[in-house]
Amino acid sequence: MATLLLFFIYIAFIGLGIPDSLLGTAWPAIYQDFQVPIASLNILTLVLQGATVIASLNSARLIRTLGTNKTVVISTFATAIGLFGFSLAPNFLWLVFCSIPLGLGGGAIDAALNNYVALHYQAIHMNFLHCFYGIGITMSPLLMSQILGGGQSWHQGYRLMFFVQLVIAFLMVFSQPLWGKVQAKWAQVQEEIQPKQISLFHLSKNPKVRLVWLVFISSCGLEFTSGIWGASYFVQVREIPVAAAAGVLTFYYLGMTIGRFFSGVLSRFLTTWQIIFIGEGIIFGALLLLIFPLPQTFAALPLFFIGLGNGPLFPNFTHLTPKTFGRNYSQAVIGSQMAAAYIGVMLIPPLFGWLADQWSLHLFPFFLLLLTILLTAASYLLKNEKNANKNSSD
């Protein structure tokens, strides 16, 4: 029964991934269609991720009130509503408004299911969970690129993804009886777990919490800067057609998905920290390929390897949370981690957008390199802090 529930949780994470890659893929067509500056993407990102941060920080309270199962259902329908709104958008302001349900729904799903899987399932399942997220974010640009390449509007791409998300939302409704049955199985464990509501101020006093926030800010900033601005970089700097650039971005998300899949497999043989540092090494190598550009035929390779290296980091750091901070505090810490992640998503891509607007999109690979250095340094310090305090083991 727990395995069947895990299958539905995986499906929910496909739905979580669907909206995250659509905007970056469609943006070269959207800003031209609405005749707004390319940096207007910053406004959408701020609104979308701001709503996500609010949902993440309130996830513990929401789950105590509704339960994880109902939270997932309501949040999935909220993201479907946001996608439908995008598909009808007559102007840019409409997109801003529809970004709110997208952000609120995504933040609640992310925090709720990450904590549930971290508490009740093994590391391999956490990696596969995010592998299914990778399926969602890979499928979206693939279908969007096909629609744009066929001469149709980006509105059609969003409408197609709305129908996919709606099916997932109804599947979450059908899964509701499973949650009660599995909850009964976990009853003994649940009695031992007393979730604590902790203020951000109290959490911020812990140096490990501050380091893990920095890890999530830099890793997710790297992920979404690559996803949101990658297509624009290849269109304007590498002079690749819009539809082809969307296809290149598909390889980026494919790399993330493959990285998470093999991370799950390798978790049987390597420690969590070994997987993390291998991933960061792959990112450094990929950025060298991006700085010294390959011919257009191989343009997708650097982004593919960035995704391959960065993909395993989010699930592995998340799975460490109950071990590092304790099971009673895991929902509060994971909620704050999700908030930190989305603060990175909210601030870092717009920061790059502003820099690109002031100077040039040529800064793209160097900006990613700076984020990777920050990410690796924070990871190293977090590992040493964890080991020094002997609070967890791999």
Q: CA 229, CA 233: separation in Å to the nearest integer? A: 6
Asked whether the predicted pLDDT for residue 196 surpasses 70, the reply is no
Please, are residues 174 and 81 in contact by the beta-carbon 8 Å criterion?
Answer: no
Tens of pLDDT, residues 50-82: 888 888 777 777 877 787 888 889 999 999 999
* 190 within a domain of the structure (yes/no): no
**390 has a pLDDT exceeding 70:** no
Q: How confident is the model at residue 268 (pLDDT cuts 50, 70, 90)?
A: confident
Among 31-40, 115-124, 311-320, 340-349, the range scoring the smallest mean pLDDT is 115-124
Query: Residue 253 carries which side chain, given as an amino acid letter?
Result: Y
The pLDDT value given to residue 144:
84
Residue 188 lies inside a defined structural domain of this protein: no
Q: Kindly state whether residue 394 falls inside one of the protein's structural domains.
A: no
**Overall number of domains in the chain:** 1
The pTM of this model reads: 0.72
| pLDDT band for position 388 (cuts 50, 70, 90) | very low
Checking if the pLDDT of 223 tops 80, the result is yes
Q: How far is it, in rounded angstroms, from Cα 299 to Cα 262?
A: 23
Lowest mean pLDDT across 95-109, 173-187, 263-277: 173-187
* Residue 360 backbone phi and psi in degrees, to 5: -165, 155
- The string of pLDDT tens digits covering residues 232-258 is 887 777 777 766 766 777 788 888 888
Pick the range with the lowest mean pLDDT from 53-67, 304-318, 328-342. 328-342
Give the torsion through C-alpha atoms of 122, 251, 149, 87, to 10 deg.
Answer: 30
Which residues, including other chains, have CB under 8 Å from residue 263's CB and lie 6 or more apart? 127, 275, 279, 311, 312, 315, 316
Ranges 89-93, 208-212, 215-219, 312-316: which has the least confidence: 208-212
How big is the chain by its Cα radius of gyration, in Å?
20
Q: Is residue 263 part of a domain?
A: yes
Predicted confidence (pLDDT) per residue in 156-177, tens digit? 989 999 999 999 999 999 988 8
User: Given pLDDT bands bounded at 50, 70 and 90, which one contains residue 191?
Assistant: very low
Q: What is the pLDDT of residue 76?
A: 92
Question: Where residue 80 sits, what CATH number does that domain have?
Answer: 1.20.1250.20
Mean pLDDT of the chain: 81
What's the CA dihedral at 130, 132, 134, 140 to 10 degrees? -140
The domain in which residue 355 lies consists of 2-177+195-389
Q: Which of 8, 16, 25 lies closest to 251, judged by CA?
A: 25
In a domain, 294, yes or no: yes
For residue 6, what pLDDT band results from cuts at 50, 70 and 90? confident
Total Cβ atoms within 10 A of residue 320: 22
At 386 the pLDDT is: 54
Q: Look at residue 186 and tell me if it is in a domain.
A: no
pLDDT exceeds cutoff 80 at 119:
no
Q: Report the pLDDT averaged over residues 335-346.
A: 80
Give a yes or no: residue 185 inside a domain: no
Report if residue 182 sits inside a domain.
no
Q: Say whether pLDDT at 332 is over 80.
A: no
